Amino acid sequence: MNASIKLPAYILLPCYDIHVAAGLTLLADNLVPFSNENVWFVLLVMTFPIVLGNQAFPIMLRLLVTILPRWDREHPEVYEYLLKHPRRCSTHLFPARETRLLGLVLLAFLICEFSLFLLLDRNAEDLQSRTWGMRIMIGFFQAASTRTAGFNCVDLAKLSAAMNVLYLVL
Higher pLDDT, residue 130 or 105: 105
The pLDDT of residue 159 is 86
Residue 114 in this model has a pLDDT that exceeds 90: yes
CA distance 37 to 131: 8
Better-scored residue on pLDDT, 13 or 62: 62
Nearest to 143 by CA among 55, 53, 47: 47
Which residue has better confidence, 122 or 21? 122
How high is the pLDDT of residue 94? 93
pLDDT band for 154, please (50, 70, 90 cuts). Answer: confident
* Residue (of 55, 76, 79) closest to 65 by Cα position: 79
Residue-averaged pLDDT of the chain: 83
Residue 144 contacts residue 50 (beta carbons within 8 Å):
yes
Characterize 39-58 residue by residue with b for buried, 16 or more Cβ atoms within 10 angstroms of its Cβ, and e for exposed: ebebbeebbebbbbbbbbeb
What number is the average pLDDT over the span 153-166?
86
- Whole-prediction pTM: 0.79
The answer to whether the beta carbons of residues 7 and 38 sit under 8 Å apart is no
